[in-house]
Chain A
């Protein structure tokens, strides 16, 4: 059996049942395929469902998987042991993940205790690290301009400011036009519909800065040219998830409002394709 870093691919899969933490994955239902190439490699199928684990070495084609991992044996073992940086291996195409990447980043680390090479526990230098999530409650004053904007949302209205000098119409509104360095005193109602100037379809599951929870993906962020504003101004907002795979630049969108509006960002749910 080919050895890498003092252990083997086989050993990592064989110790999965004893490292499994069912209590952490009660609500999880995933199938992970591992296609480990090179000496000591093979194909494994790891299924986690309702707190039960099944690990199986297979021949032939993979069945339908939530995620399929393809890696060389050395990369796989090194990555498991932390000797090889998986992010780097992934970016360099040496550790490929097809499918839902959050299975790898969130579910697997919770589901299994760390794999350790037998007899190696004491030799490794222990370096202390502490992990925590900093959570700070805050309060922000809107001021008269953003206050007007949020109160507008409550009434299903978009208020922009108009520069008395260059005439540009800013959204969200701003107290001054920074280009002309003059106060923008005049509010104008714009929208509610808009043209999609650019789009971001996000696959990367980042933490929500308000909760620390991982955002569910994919989601789309829109860059909008709101009707009635100048074309150099842009409002960014979310897209209705139902339109994720249909949205194209140049399309027209309309706002969808929350039933219960409280003069906050949640008053506006998202924009959706106006067809």
Chain B
């Protein structure tokens, strides 16, 4: 038996612009903007939606049961609605849930909503710290800010090469963001600024500087999923959800920086997902990878983890420009998470942006060559991973 009861496609996508300030909208109003955009994109009305899945990261806006009062904007009035909140992975977990709800046969058309107003979270770092184990790590953690990954990268490749690759990687992301009209931070950085940024960007933690860290953004992302028959009727360009995987590890985030590092959840997820889909060379297979990269140092290391690379292969890809928008495997043509991070929407925006690339509708940051196979990742909590595979054509062979 296959992994799915029936095939599922993405038939509508709506995103707000991501920005640091949205005083002019309250939460349901901001969500509503993206909901209307997604319905318009799919050429559907609220009547066509069978079920709504809604989520963000708990604690940030400090409002209880937002799925209830957000009905003002979600369109879930009188419909089945689920709320999902799994930290940073939320947006991608909502995608998994919507995929499952449609694949199972429960609903034909499901609308998935991820949102966050981080400006309303007075301090993202305080919010994240409060989510740590209350008995121990809440007292010790500094949100998601860490230099531990940078320290290890520097150990492995030398300070000069590591720092240079990291800043080059960051500038590449900014170059992508600068041409994405929805991206939050668009600095217009040039590679010539690398030297200056390495020295003058304010340090946050150790080797992690402000320029390396993701933004705090406001925004919403909405996607509409439909079963095969409906999807073909609704959209001339459905994007197929081939497979997804969600991997959690133990809650001890510190273990990731133990003397001997355990296998990361990213590596586990990629290893299992590619094996069961018969993907032996992910760099060769995929045409776009939208990765949840909360910081440049993490993002750079995770290229190796997700693509199952070894040694300095990931650093070489950065140095050679293989991950540029016109490179071998474009990484985050949207500008990624260091450019825009409305947390509850972030991981969904990875899937949405990859799907837009497959449709050829990404806009100014569309990859020039044909995009047929997409990969998108979510990251959250104490090393959790969601990985989603997208296909332009419904022609893959199931591998068991």
Whether A138 contacts B134 by the Cβ 8 Å rule is: yes
- Known contacts A91-B211, A178-B250; is-contact A202 B142 (Cβ 8 Å): yes
Q: How far is the CB of B18 from chain A (nearest CB, A)?
A: 12
Contacts of B130 in A (CB 8 A): 209
Residues of A contacting B213 in the complex (Cβ-Cβ under 8 angstroms): 91
Asked whether A200 lies within 8 Å of B259 as measured between CB atoms, the reply is no
Complex: how many Å from CA A210 to CA B151?
29
Chain A interface main SS type: mixed
Nearest-CB distance from A148 to chain B (Å)? Answer: 12
The stretch of B32-40, B201-209, B325-333, B370-378 that contacts the partner chain: B201-209
Q: How far is the CB of A68 from chain B (nearest CB, A)?
A: 12
Q: In chain B, what residue has the closest Cβ to A140?
A: B134
Q: When the two chains form the complex, which single residue of A87, A140, A231, A234 contacts B135, counting CB atoms closer than 8 Å?
A: A140
Interface segment out of the listed A7-15, A41-49, A126-134: A126-134
Instruction: Give B201's nearest chain A residue, CB to CB.
Output: A93
- Kindly name the residue among A150, A198, A204, A210 whose own CB sees the greatest number of chain B CB atoms within 10 A: A198
A174 to chain B, nearest CB (A): 8
Say whether A209 contacts B129, CB under 8 Å.
yes
B210 contacts the other chain (Cβ, under 8 Å)? yes
In the assembled complex, B271 has its CB within 8 A of some CB on chain A: no
Contact status of A85 and B126, CB under 8 A, knowing A203-B204, A234-B258: no
Q: Residue B72 at the A interface, CB < 8 A?
A: no
Chain A residues positioned under 8 Å from B140 (CB to CB): 221, 236-238
A198 and B151 within 8 A (CB): yes
A93 and B151 contacting across the interface, CB-CB below 8 Å: no
The contact of A209 among B135, B138, B256, by CB within 8 Å, is: B138
User: Restricting to B188-225, which residues have a CB under 8 Å from any CB of A?
Assistant: 188-189, 193, 196-197, 200-206, 210-211, 213, 215-216
Most buried by B among A133, A150, A199, A225: A199
Query: What 3 A-B pairs come out closest when comparing CB atoms?
Result: A92-B187, A234-B258, A236-B254
What is the CB-to-nearest-CB distance from B40 to chain A, in angstroms, rounded to a whole number? 26
Interface readout for A65-94 with B: 1 if CB under 8 Å, 0 if not? 000000000000000000001011011111
**What mask results when residues 145 to 172 of chain B are scored 1 for a CB within 8 Å of chain A, else 0?**
1111001100100000000000000000
Closest chain-B Cβ to A268's Cβ sits at a distance in Å of 10
The verdict on A137 contacting chain B, using a C-beta distance below 8 Å, is no
Q: A200 contacts which chain B residues (CB < 8 A)?
A: 142, 145-148, 205-206
A210-253: which have CB < 8 Å to B? 210, 212, 221, 223, 225, 230-238, 249
Alpha-carbon gap, A238 to B205, bound state (A): 14
**Residues in B whose Cβ lies below 8 Å from that of A87:** 20, 215-216
A260 contacts partner chain B, Cβ-Cβ < 8 Å: no
* Selected contact of B202 from candidates A101, A131, A134, CB within 8 Å: A101
Is the Cβ of A204 less than 8 Å from the Cβ of B145? Answer: yes
Q: Any chain A CB within 8 A of the CB of B82? A: no
Q: Are B142 and A221 in contact (CB under 8 A)?
A: yes
Q: For residue A223, which residues in chain B have a CB less than 8 angstroms away from its CB?
A: 148, 254, 257-258
In the bound complex, residues from chain A placing their C-beta under 8 Å from that of B262 are 232
30 A–B contacts from the bound complex (CB under 8 Å): A85-B20, A91-B211, A92-B188, A93-B187, A96-B202, A131-B122, A170-B252, A195-B259, A198-B148, A198-B151, A199-B206, A201-B206, A203-B203, A204-B205, A206-B123, A206-B142, A206-B143, A207-B125, A207-B126, A209-B130, A210-B139, A225-B259, A231-B260, A232-B261, A232-B262, A234-B254, A234-B255, A234-B256, A238-B140, A249-B151
Contacting residues, chain A, for B249 (C-beta < 8 A): 178
Which one, B148, B185, B203, B256, contacts A88 given CB within 8 A?
A: B185
